[in-house]
Structure 1
Amino acid sequence: QGWSTWLQIKVPLEVHIHANNWGFMSLLFAGLLIDLYPSFTGKSLAWPKSPTRIFWMMTLGALGLILGPWFEASIFTVPGIVLHLSATIWLLLNVVKPLIGTGELSTPGILHLVTAYFWILAPVMMAPLVLLQIPGIPGPSIEQNAPQALIYGWALQFGFAIIPLLLRRVFLPDSPAKLGGNWFSLIAVHLGGVLLWAGIFLNDSQTALHGAAYGLWFLAMLPIAYEIWQIISTAMGGLQEQESLPTVAEAGD
C-alpha cells in the first residue's frame, strides 16, 4: 500500500491487473502474433499496414484502462475499453480473414490462438454491466475471479500454441513451423474457463466448479508438456547422432 498511497492510486489491485494484462501481455502477444504469423501460415496479415495503428490503439486503450481505476474515473475507463476492444478485434480479423476457406481455421493450433482471445474479451464485455451495477451481475465476484479465467483461458492457452512453435524454431530449425496443442488441450482449457465463470454466478457451487476448472487446466497442460518433451528429446537425439559421426568416420579410417 506504500507506493499506492504515495501515487494516490484509488484501486491498486485493478491498476496492477490492467497494467499487466491490457498493457504488457496484450502488446507482447499481439507482437508475437504479428511477427510469427507468416511463419506458421505462409500468409500475410489481411491488412499488412495495420500493426502500427493496432499498437497505438492498444497502448492508448491500456493507458485508459490503467488511469480509470487509478483515479476511479470512468472517463478514462470507457474510452480505454473501446480502444482496446477495437484493436483486439482488428488484430483477430487480420489473423482470421486470410485463413477463411483454407481449412487452417479448423486446426487446434490456430483455434488455440484465436479462441484464446474470447477470455480476454469476456471481462471487457462484462465491464459495462459491472460499472452500471446491473442487478444479478455479481460485480465483486467478477472482479475477484475473472482474472483467473483471463490468465488460464487466454495467456496459458496462447502459450499452448506459441511455446512449442518457438521451441521448434530453436531446437529443430529444419522442421516445419507448427503451432502446439491438440483437440484435448483445446477442449479442456475452454471447459475450465466455462466452469470458472459458472462458479462466479453460481455462488453455492463456486468451490466445486472452480476446483474442476483448475483440474481441467492442469489436464490441458499435459499434452503440451509431452509435445515440448518430444521436441527437446528429438533435438537431443540429433545432437547425439552428430557427435557419434566423427567416431564412426575414424573407425572406418
Structure 2
Amino acid sequence: MLRTRNDPFLVMAGLYLVIGLFATVGTLGVEAGVIDVLPRLRWLTIHFVTIGGMTQALFGVLPALAGSRREDTTDATVRNRWLQWLSLNAGYPLILIGMATGTTIVAVVGASLVLGALAGLLATVYRSKDPAVDGRFYFRTAPWFLVVGILAAFGMLLNVHGPGGYFGTVEAHVHANVWGFLALVAAGALFTVLPRLFGADLRYPRLRRVTYWGITAGAVGLVAGPWLARHELTMLGLVVYVVGTAALLANVIGTYRVGERAQPERFALILGAYLWLAFPVPWAPLVLLFPETVPATAIEIAAIDGLVFGWMLQLAMAFLPIVAVGAKSDRAGFAARTTAASETVRTPSWLQIASVNLGMLALWLTAILPVGGTVDSLSLVGYLLVAVAWGFFAVDLWTALTTPSTSTAGTSEIPSE
C-alpha cells in the first residue's frame, strides 16, 4: 500500500491555502495601486480557498467523518483514494488555467476530472459501515450538492443556462457548493466533534434532524430558485435554511454552555464564521426584489467574500490544524483523534480572531456604506486584516503538517481512516 506521513489531500489543502494567501497579498497590491490589476485575481483567490483548500481537505476527511474504519481498508480502497487524489489534483490546475486564460476547453477538461474524483469519493463514503456516526446522512448528502455545483460550472463554461440565464447559473453554482456541500459537511462535523471538544453531550439532540432537513431543503431552494428565475422559491429556501442553521447554532452554543467551556477561541471562530454566513440573509430580499434601491452588485461581492473569508476560512482556522494532526494518528474514531490533537496544536489567538472578523466588517462596510473615497481605503484595510489572520493560520496548519506524530511512526494511509 502507498503510505505517506500526512494525508495527501490535507497537504494539497495547505499548499493551496498558502497560494491563496499570496493571492490575497496580490489583491492588497492592486488595492494599494502598487501593481496593475491582474485578470480574474478575485475569482482565482476565491477558488484557492474553496476548491483548493476546503474541497481538498474535505476529500481527505469525509470518509473518516462518514465512519469508514481502518480495519475495512483494502488495497482497492487505497488505489481508489489515490485515483481520487490524482484526478482532483490534475483537474483543479486545469480549471485555474482555463479561468485565468479564458480557455473554455481547458476548464471543461479540468472540471470533468474533478467530477470523476467526486464520483470516487461518493463510492468511498457510501461504503462506510458505521451506522453510529451522528452525521452520516450529512456526509452522504453533501457530495451530491457538489455534483450539482460542478454541473452548473459546466453550464457557465459551455453557455448552457436555465431560465435564470448566466447569472442564475452562477448563483446556483455558488449556492450548491457553499450553502449545500460545505454547509452540510460543516454541520455534520460540528455534531461529531463538538461534544468531545466541549466535554458535554449534545445539548439538543432532537434538533439534529431540524438542522439536516433545514439545510438540505433550504439549499435545494437556494440552488433551484436562481436557476429557474423563481424568486419565491429562492426566498422560501432561504427561510428554511435559516431555520436549519438556527437549530445548529442552538446546539453549538448550548453544548458549549453546559460543557467545560474549553476551547473558547475555537468557539469564537465558529460563532464568527456563522455570523458572516448569516449576515447576507436580511439583504437578500432587497437584492432580489428591489435591486435599484440598494447597491446590489457591491452587496453580492461582499456576501461572497463573507462566505469565503468570513465563514470558510474561520472554520478552517478552528479545525484544520487539529484535523491534520489527528489524521496521522491510529487512534480509533475521528472525534477522539481530533480532540486529542486539539491538546497538542497551538490554539488560535484572539488577535487572529479579531483580525479576520474586523477585516470582514471592513469589507462589508464597502458595500453598505459606500461613502466618497472611503471604499478603497476600507477594502485595503479589510484585505490586510484578513491576510494577517490568514498568515497566522497558514503557520499553524503547516506546523501541524510538518510535526511528526508520536503515535504512528510517521505514516498514515491515504484513506485517512
In the alignment, is the contact (CA less than 8 A) between 2:162 and 2:169 conserved in 1? no
Partner of 1:214: 383
Alpha-carbon distance in 1 for matches of 2:252, 2:303: 26
Local SS of the residue matching 2:379:
helix
CA deviation map 1:25-64 (0-9, x unaligned)? 1111111111111221122221223323311111110011
Local SS of the residue matching 2:204:
coil
Partner of 2:22: none
The residue correspondences of 1:134-153 to structure 2 (distance < 5 A) are 137-153=294-310
In the alignment, is the contact (CA less than 8 A) between 1:109 and 1:182 conserved in 2? no
Q: Which has the higher contact order (CA 8 A, sep 6+)?
A: 2
Q: In the superposition, relative to structure 1, how do residues 143 and 231 fare at CA in structure 2: closer, same or farther (>3 Å)?
A: closer
Please say if 1:67 is aligned against 2:224. Answer: yes
Shift of 1:82: 0.7
Shift of 1:226: 2.6
Alpha-carbon distance in 2 for matches of 1:4, 1:66: 18
Q: In the superposition, relative to structure 1, how do residues 156 and 133 fare at CA in structure 2: closer, same or farther (>3 Å)?
A: same
Query: Which one has a bigger Cα radius of gyration?
Result: 1
Please say if 1:5 is aligned against 2:172. Answer: no
The residue correspondences of 1:197-208 to structure 2 (distance < 5 A) are 197-203=364-370, 204-208=373-377
Could you tell which deviates more after superposition, 150-159 or 205-214?
Answer: 205-214
The percent identity for this pair of structures is: 29
Please say if 1:16 is aligned against 2:173. Answer: yes
Shift of 1:84: 0.4
In the alignment, is the contact (CA less than 8 A) between 1:68 and 1:75 conserved in 2? yes
The structure 1 residue matched to 2:340, chosen from 176, 182, 201, is 176
- Aligned amino acid, residue 64 of structure 1: G
Partner of 2:394: 225
In the alignment, is the contact (CA less than 8 A) between 1:195 and 1:209 conserved in 2? yes
In the alignment, is the contact (CA less than 8 A) between 2:198 and 2:259 conserved in 1? no
Alpha-carbon distance in 1 for matches of 2:218, 2:389: 31
Partner of 2:317: 160
What number of residue pairs does the alignment pair up? 241
Q: In the superposition, relative to structure 1, how do residues 115 and 40 fare at CA in structure 2: closer, same or farther (>3 Å)?
A: same
Instruction: Give the structure-1-normalised TM-score.
Output: 0.84
Partner of 1:249: none
Alpha-carbon distance in 2 for matches of 1:105, 1:79: 37
Partner of 2:356: 189
Between Structure 1 and Structure 2, the one with more helix by share is 1
- Aligned amino acid, residue 318 of structure 2: A
The structure 1 residue matched to 2:188, chosen from 3, 28, 31, is 31
Q: In the superposition, relative to structure 1, how do residues 4 and 65 fare at CA in structure 2: closer, same or farther (>3 Å)?
A: farther
Gaps of 5+ in 1: 244-253
